[in-house]
Each structure stands twice: as C-alpha cells, then as structure tokens.
Amino acid sequence: MSMVSSMGSARAASSRREARAVWSVLILSCAVAAARVAPGDEAVTTVESFLRIKEIDVGSRAALVEGAAWSDDKERVLARVLTRLAAPAPLVAAWREQAAEVAPRGTANEITDRLVKVSGRATFVAPRALPAELAELAGRPQYDVARIVDEKGAVVDVVVPRAPSAWPRWRAIDEPAAVVGLPLTSGGGPEPVAADGGGATWPAAGHDLLVAATGIEWRPPTLLGSLGMNYGLFDTVVDDRKLEPGDTGAFWGVMQAATRVSPADIAKAADGKTDIIAMIDPAQKWFAAHRGEPVVIAGTARRATRIAIDDPALRASVGGDHYWELEVFADTPTIKVNERVQDRYPIVCCVRSLTDGMPSGEDISERVRVPGFALKRYSYPLRDVLISSSQGDSEIKGERISTPLVIGPKAEWVPPPSPAETSNVLFWIFSGIIGVLAALLAYNNWSLGRDARRAERLRRDSLPDRLDLPNE
C-alpha cells in the first residue's frame, strides 16, 4: 500500500494560472462581445438593435411570417436566424426580464422583435435535416424541433440547434421545459421527417406559435434541478479536459445552485455515501449517466486555494467575490493506478466557503468532508508527489491526472482535537483501563475464593460421618 508523504507546489501554481487564464479569456470575450456584436460602431443595448445589426429583425425575416406553406425560402431564413441568434450572456440576462408571455391557445400572437418566454412541458422532439447548402451555411447538418405545451395550453414549436441530449427523439415525452426565444410565425412551420422511415411521424396537430431559440432550459425533478440548474448546460461539458468554454455555463450554474442548499441536504440526497471507485474509474463512464448527482467526498485536503471572481454578474449570481478550490485526497480501497498501489485518490472540489477557522494555503493536511454535485472528469497537472511504498521511494513529476470535479456550498472541516481535549480523552481512557483492570482483579480474587470454598465443601462432603482414631 502506498502513502503520499510529501508534495510540492509548482504544479498547483501552474494549475491555478491555467484556470485563471481560462476564466480571464472568457470574461474578456463576453465583455467585448457585449459592447460590440457586429461590424461598425453601433452599441447594442436592446433586442431590436441586436436583431437589426444581425439582419434577422422582423423585416428581414418577413418570409417566415407569411401564411404560405413551409418552403425552401423559409428554411433559408430560419437557418440564418439560428446561426445569428446567439448573444452575449449579459445582454440576454437583461432581455429575459422584458420577454413577453405567449398568448393563450386560440389567441393570435404578435410577431415583433420582442422576445417571448415559454414555460410548460415538452411533449415531443425530433431532428430536421438541412439541405446540404444550408447545412454548410448553418455549420450543422440538422436542428431540433421541440413541441412544448405551455402553462396556458398554448402549443409552441421551438426550433433550436440542439434540444437536451437526454431527451429521446421520435417518441412522446413529458419533461419540464422553459424557453426564451424569438417569435417567428403563427403559421406553418418545419416538420421533421424520420430519416430511417421507421414510421415515426411529427404530431399531426398544428401549433399556435413557432419560436427560434439558442437552447431549451430543462430542470428535471432532482435535487439539483429543484435548485434551478438547467441540465441542458451539461450537453457542452467535455470530460477529461481542463475547464474550457463549453464547461463555463454548467460550472457557474452548479455553483449558483449550490448557494441555495446546505451540505446536510446534499449529503442526505447522496444517502451519506459515494462510490468513489466508480467516479474515478474511466472505464465505468460514470459521468455519462450521473452528471449533476449529489456526492460526498471525505478525505485529506492537501491544498485550499482562494479563487477570485472578477465578473460582477458572476459575483451577484453566487453571492460573493471568490470561491475555494480544494485538492482532496479521498479515502479509497487499495487500488492500482499507473502501476502504483495506493489507498487514496485526489479529487478537485470547488466550494463557496470553508468552515470558520479551517487552515488554507498550498501545503495543508486537514480532514474534510465535502458534500457537492459531480460536474465532470477534470484534467489538471498533479503536483510533484513522493510515493513511499514497499517497492521503494519514487518521485512523480509533471504528471497530468484526470479526476472528478465536484462543486458544493461548503467544505466541512474535521479539526484535530485540542491538547486539552486530548488530555481529557487520554485521562478517561486511562481511567477506564484502570477501572477495567481493577474489576478484573476483583473478579479474579472473588473467583479464586469461590473455587476454594467449593473445594472445601466437596472435601467435607466426602468425609465419613464419624472418624475413629486408633488407640494409642
């Protein structure tokens, strides 16, 4: 069995620089895009100005509003809308607040440059293939059409680049769904056709409104979903890599959700335990089916680093200007990793806060328990490690490891007992030992006495009633 005996800090610094560089690039790109989203110097602050600059305003997409049957011209305009609809997150957040409700079923919806919001149940989803020339224009071979019945009974068909990948295609579903998108028409829309000709068909009933959106928000009835996490953000998360742009939405979504729940509630949902081996074994592909699941990581924190949050919007969403990144060596059964036998494995945990008084820094050794949500298999440079084993000492340098990344509200510190507490504990332990020894000694003396009395009684019982002594 191997034991981690000492660790350097060069790789930790490299890991932090790598992570901060990623966040800096993302934040800078969002800020630049928020200020200018098209050639020229026109500042974008409203939906109308954004759509006009992108040339997908209501005038530019007039062909979609016409009541005629779906056509190649309509498909071409739709492909252009899908390609240009994405906007910087800060702008979208402001526009969401101004989005209009969809009209009740049977009532006409006004087609303008104002966004609409749809909230209800997704009942069907299917892909629609694009013609080759449009596929090249859109940068994708197909798009998804999802049918949503909103809370007022209106039937809304939503066109998105991709609906949540966990939703089955070409059969009835019943999933909570929410969309903020651009209204296109109350007339006819695209109807997907099954490529394999297996008999699956798009629902025959017509819709009340056709909407284009960049994605569909899906919050299933899990603990994380109940906290407001959009599981659709998980579709762009990539395992076995460092934090990349596709991970950022899910990372901050889970971090924000974690601020709304206590560690105790997460631990309860996880049933108080976690299969660490399944999480760290790449062959089991655990994250494919369990992303976002509540877990509990228990072990020794070797590092606790404060990570500043520079973006004001992110600060507001998580309620603070920083979070903590911990490297926790979780306790495991004896396992073999890269020809080394060991009984612990490093797991990266990002939490909003630490227990008051818990030490932090690059070189600590503190017992912790971290209830949180599993995000991805995260690739990062492992710090220099000195492995002590029966086979001899060996130093591991420059190794990159793929490990679970867990996000939670708080790292629960299990501090060692104070000297006074230790003295009290030792006193009671020694007192208990002395008490037990005294009891054993008393029992032994009593037992010996009992045996002696029993032997005397047996001896007397064996004597004759009268003993005649010989005459002298």
The pLDDT value given to residue 449: 66
pLDDT tens, residue by residue, 61-109? 999 987 778 888 999 999 999 999 999 888 888 898 889 999 988 888 8
Query: 15 pLDDT exceeds 50?
Result: no
The two three-digit tokens of residue 239, written as one number = 């395992």
pLDDT value at 454 more than 80: no
The pTM of the full predicted model, rounded to 2 decimals, is 0.75
Structure tokens at 438: 């005294």
pLDDT at 306: 96
β-pairing, 394-396 vs 322-337, is: unpaired
- Which tens digit of pLDDT belongs to each residue from 248-281? 999 999 999 999 999 999 999 998 678 888 998 8
136 confidence band (pLDDT: 50, 70, 90): confident
Q: Which region among 306-310, 348-352, 379-383 has the lowest average model confidence (pLDDT)?
A: 379-383
Answer whether residue 388 shows pLDDT above 80: no
Res 43: pLDDT: 66
Please say whether the beta carbons of 149 and 71 come within 8 A.
no
Predicted confidence band at 7 (pLDDT cuts at 50, 70, 90)? very low
Higher pLDDT, 15 or 281: 281
- Taking all residues of the chain, what is their mean pLDDT, rounded to a whole number? 81
Burial of 284 (0-12, 13-18, 19+ CB in 10 A): middle
As a three-state string, the secondary structure of the chain is CCEEEEECCHHHHHHHHHHHHHHHHHHHHHHHHHHCCCCCCCCCCCHHHHHHHHCCCCCCCHHHHCCCCCCHHHHHHHHHHHHHCCCCHHHHHHHHHCCEECCCCCCCCCCCCCCEEEEEEEEEEEEEECCHHHHHHHCCCEEEEEEEEECCCCEEEEEECCCCCCCCCCCCCCEEEEEEEEEEECCCCCCCCCCCCCCCCCCCCCCCEEEECCCCECCCCCHHHHCCCCHHHHHHCCCCECCCHHHHHHHHHHHHHHCCCCHHHHHHHCCCCCCHHHHHCHHHCHHHHHCCCEEEEEEEEEEEEEEECCCHHHHHHHCCCEEEEEEEEEEEEEEEECCEEEEEEEEEEEEEEECCCCCCECCCCEEEEEEEEEEEEEEEECCCEEEECCCCCEEECCCEEEEEEEEEEEEEECCCCCHHHHHHHHHHHHHHHHHHHHHHHHHHHHHHHHHHHHHHHHHHHCCCCCCCCCCC
- Residue 467: the pLDDT is 29
Compare 440 and 78 and report the one with higher pLDDT: 78
- Token pair listed for 162: 């991709």
pLDDT band at 462 (very low <50, low <70, confident <90, very high): very low
Beta bridge partners of 304: 326, 361
pLDDT tens, position by position, 20-51: 444 443 343 344 344 444 444 456 789 999 99
- 140: tokens are 């994708």
Pair type for strands 340-354 and 400-413: parallel
**pLDDT, mean of residues 441-462:** 60
pLDDT given at position 308: 96
